[in-house]
Structure 1
């Protein structure tokens, strides 16, 4: 499995200037390549290279850097086409889709630039890198990271690394190819019910309340509104300083929750059953005052964290259809919309079972996970001789 490790570069002043100039040069070149691709109907990478490679060399890019700029641009159009096909940019004729299709893709000045081993080399013992720039090869640029990240880089780094600039700080995002352990045969499944009031509720009794995170989001939203209304230079500086603060906090909370879920499943020998919530935002109809909470709900990020942590631990994971899991009694199986009294209360109208609604849903998901695993795994029946 592929995991990325992020390291922070600590360049000297002249090195930082060279890195910044390099990113701006390659991304300006990528915008030009994007314009050529758009005019010619987005040709294949080989054909696009014939139209742009010589010009990129005259702009001061090295051979490998020029190849990466062309590939980066072509990959961006491939992603755009996939998003259009999947309907992520709206229906044909929608304003958002017409805007995306009517002009070339543009690259930010500080957007990521990929490097391979010909342009970038790592010295793990000294924690330095040597990297190509438009000003020549820069050597002995220090980097810092955690001990676990350094070990992962040393043992598993493979393929390209991306150089990015974020708020004046440079980072390298390196790809590490880690071998996956063999998935064990689960004794059962831990059902995980995802929500906004309770971020995650498991059938083992763990509940991650969303009250703290929702309060944090409310504070950040109110502060942004206040600073944007003020509009002074100091307010804009503070807005820039606090940018991505909410996203970082949310990611940290999701990491903690996902680690708890996977650790519990690994310790007990259970698999994990997650809800397949694909398209939930387009299906649900809410009042205007509820839409912010729905669209701030980072269920996909939490699911992806659980997924990759489960793979690293060898824990089985299945996605199940969440239909009726909130209306079905986990004790007797009776389904009725009236079983769900309110957000927190479930009372079965058939057998009288009374429990927390999220706990009930998690037990239903656990049962569905076991069924999905049983029907989806390979047959254990010996082959007929």
Structure 2
């Protein structure tokens, strides 16, 4: 079984919106109170914390039994976070306090003022996902700046996983968001230009500091994030679709901790820290799972310094960001493409398949074009 979150916009009336707002506020206050108790008593186990705060959450904050349990469960996931609390932005629901009528486009939610039915706006793609779901396990009520949303947690049967005839290697980067082992580059130039423009505009408005500038900053908030999210959805959909059509799995780099490992000059740090490789990896993972495409992570070390033809590994092979020149056999080509080819080969080892030259030639056929030699 797999879970997928489907977001739908809510259209509450004025009185219903007030009930939802009170529920979100009290839920956040209850979570923060339970968090204080958990820290003081070092009680992060859900059942131990429930014995300490359940009655107080019911009586002091007016939560129903299920909402109190959801608040305690959310606090239990916060273990290890030393600072910070919960903002009044969302409420968790299980299937007992949330139900959906897809045909009537109505969701029923439990609030601190009783049960309410709220009209929803369901687009065509969301309707398809909801109708094909095995069931809805719960959801999350989310308060936006000027709107309300419900994220429905839908359960699906896992599709049959294909037996891959090779792996499509994917090299993640900043100049190019991704480059696959077939040589196709998914450019990040437009996304990077948007980020640079937003960064300059924020700096200018923050320096100005007027009320109008602050209103403008508030309006711009989240715009860059939404654009990057859309770009990652588009890129991941294309990669998974290609792998599914060609009967291959997907191999990606394990980049965990890369921000701590890499040393960069100051002008490059903001670019690295705005690089949403984790979000792209998550989207690739769940889209591949939904399509029955195997996805594996491989060691990222030296993938861009190793020659895919002779295996020679040397730092000087990478002569620039885009250019690769092997110091041993003289192979010349695009560095990101060759890195993706190496990732593709490592994908076989990640699934415990015997590696052989024949298997490599089949899975990487056409990946390394004839290149000029030095």
Aligned to 1:2: 3
Q: Distance in 1 between matches of 2:320 and 2:208?
A: 40
Residues 245-300 of structure 1: per-residue CA shift (max 9 Å, x gap): 11111111111111111111111111111111111111111111111111111111
Q: What residue ranges of structure 1 are gaps of 5+ in the alignment?
A: 82-99, 378-385
Deviation for aligned residue 1:20: 0.4
Q: How does 1:72-111 map to 2 (within 5 A)?
A: 72-77=74-79, 81=80, 101=82, 106-110=85-89
Deviation for aligned residue 1:148: 2.2
CA contact (8 A) 2:95 2:136 kept: no
- What SS class does the counterpart of residue 221 from structure 1 fall into? helix
Aligned to 1:296: 274
Q: For structure 1, which segment, 367-376 or 343-352, has the greater mean C-alpha deviation from structure 2 after superposition?
A: 367-376
Q: What is the CA RMSD across the aligned residues, in angstroms?
A: 1.8
Aligned to 1:333: 311
Which of 273, 280, 283 is equivalent to 2:251?
Answer: 273
Q: How does 1:25-104 map to 2 (within 5 A)?
A: 25-42=26-43, 44-59=45-60, 60-77=62-79, 81=80, 101=82
- What SS class does the counterpart of residue 77 from structure 2 fall into? helix
Residues 104-144 of structure 1: per-residue CA shift (max 9 Å, x gap): x521122x2111233222111110112222222212x1111
Q: Distance in 1 between matches of 2:333 and 2:132?
A: 48
- What SS class does the counterpart of residue 232 from structure 2 fall into? helix
TM-aligned CA distance change 1:349 to 1:106, over 3 Å? closer
Aligned to 1:88: none
**What TM-score, normalized by structure 2, do the two folds share?**
0.89
Q: Distance in 2 between matches of 1:40 and 1:327?
A: 51
TM-aligned CA distance change 1:376 to 1:66, over 3 Å? farther
Q: How does 1:1-385 map to 2 (within 5 A)?
A: 1-42=2-43, 44-59=45-60, 60-77=62-79, 81=80, 101=82, 106-110=85-89, 112-139=90-117, 141-156=118-133, 157-375=135-353
TM-aligned CA distance change 1:359 to 1:45, over 3 Å? closer
CA contact (8 A) 2:4 2:155 kept: yes
Residues 170-193 of structure 1: per-residue CA shift (max 9 Å, x gap): 111111111121221112111111
Q: Distance in 2 between matches of 1:57 and 1:188?
A: 56
Q: What residue ranges of structure 2 are gaps of 5+ in the alignment?
A: 356-374
Q: Distance in 1 between matches of 2:9 and 2:189?
A: 33
- What SS class does the counterpart of residue 229 from structure 1 fall into? helix
Q: Distance in 2 between matches of 1:191 and 1:300?
A: 17
- What SS class does the counterpart of residue 114 from structure 1 fall into? strand
- What SS class does the counterpart of residue 88 from structure 2 fall into? coil
Q: Distance in 1 between matches of 2:112 and 2:352?
A: 57
Deviation for aligned residue 1:351: 1.7
Q: Distance in 2 between matches of 1:46 and 1:348?
A: 59
- What SS class does the counterpart of residue 250 from structure 2 fall into? strand
What is the count of residue pairs matched by the alignment?
Answer: 352
Deviation for aligned residue 1:374: 4.1
Instruction: List 4+ stretches of structure 1 deviating above 6 A.
Output: none
Residues 7-42 of structure 1: per-residue CA shift (max 9 Å, x gap): 111001111111101111121122222222222222
Q: Distance in 1 between matches of 2:290 and 2:132?
A: 15
Residues 36-70 of structure 1: per-residue CA shift (max 9 Å, x gap): 22222225322322332222222322222222222
Q: Distance in 2 between matches of 1:180 and 1:219?
A: 42
CA contact (8 A) 2:171 2:343 kept: yes
Aligned to 1:89: none
